[in-house]
Amino acid sequence: MIGLLLNDIEQKELEYLLKREMDELVYDFNYQDMDQQVKKAIKERYIVLFDIYKRFANQKECLNYIPKKNFSDVK
């Protein structure tokens, strides 16, 4: 486990970066001609990023990025 101290500006920047990356992953996932292994890797990466994101964001903001909402077969 690694600890991390951030000021408010750094926290907002990290939230922004995580949201943009998750948005890009959802966009890439919806590309039709993608191999299933790549889609699986995208889902796994999304879940890792979401787990980090939910440590910073409030519950209302997290609702927009729940993996089940964006990837129907994620548990």
pLDDT in tens, 3-34: 889 999 999 999 999 999 999 999 999 888 88
Q: Identify whether 75 is part of a domain.
A: no
pTM: 0.85
DSSP string for residues in 21-51: HHHHHHHHHT-TT--HHHHHHHHHHHHHHHH
| Domain encompassing residue 60 | 8-70
Q: Identify whether 1 is part of a domain.
A: no
Q: What is the count of structural domains for the chain?
A: 1
Does residue 75 have a pLDDT over 60? no
Q: Identify whether 63 is part of a domain.
A: yes
Q: What percent of the chain has pLDDT over 90?
A: 63
